[in-house]
Structure 1
Amino acid sequence: MNLPTFLPFPKDRLNMMSLYDLLLGFFYFYVHQFRFEFDVLSVRRGQILPIDKVKWEQAQQRMSQYGGLHGADREMDAQTPSYTYDNAYMFIEEPFNRTNVSRSVYDPEVFQGIKKVFKEAYDELTTSHNPFSIFN
């Protein structure tokens, strides 16, 4: 098994932000900055990646895994995760097998509902300044 190497968290960079600031930053990012149609949240890399790059990396991984282009084509329809990035509205890369953990968000109404809840939480936090207000 080929597991990634994890680096220790640097002790001089401890996060001293409050729960309120962390939640506000999270919701601000997903309401105002994250481009759902173009971006993938890569847990493995700890960064945002362009979806085209992730799809290309998946194709390269499949080709090496299944013995070249023809092997990849033969196996792709049956079991590979390539299409998990084609039918979903949200993209979060699973760190070990690189599939889209949010692939079940393929209904546009569900996706709009998620975005609405993110916006409502952000608005509530900016109004109340209380991190617990979004749990009522």
Structure 2
Amino acid sequence: MALLGPKEQEIVRERLSNLVRDVELVLFTDTSTLIAPGKEPCLYCKETKQLLEEVSALSDKLHLVVYDLATPEGKEKAKEYKVEAAPTLILREKGSQAINLRYRGIPAGYEFASLLEDIEMLGRDGHGLPENVVQELNNLPEEVVLQVFVT
């Protein structure tokens, strides 16, 4: 059963129709059924993958890549991308090596709107920031980590 109904699909398709750049959605899931002390089963991995498959099917500018932490390749990529848990979604312009725009958990509910906005931001031509803001950001003395927590 689809997570996005026909009406929601049309709304998302319309929003994604303005993308001019390709956007890569890199999803880390964990299909392991191993029960071990300190290891929790992956909540919402299956649903997150389904949701992103449905969204990425609505635009040829979206490219979904899935890594499974239960596989050697998935574990290696998780180290490389500094992924600590599943589901984790990394958004970036296709071809970029950026790993800093990420979601932990399923981007559903209010987070779904944020996900679409982030995809639109990455997929449009230019970042939309005034030049003076870009200069100020480039002049920051050190890297800044900004984390937003939503419940």
Q: Same fold (TM over 0.5)?
A: no
Higher strand fraction: Structure 1 or Structure 2? 2
- TM-score bracket, normalised by the shorter chain, equals under 0.3
> Which protein is bigger by CA-based radius of gyration?
1
**Higher relative CO (CA 8 A, sep ≥ 6), structure 1 or 2?**
2
Query: Greater helix share, 1 or 2?
Result: 1
Normalised to the residue count of structure 2, the TM-score between the two structures is 0.23
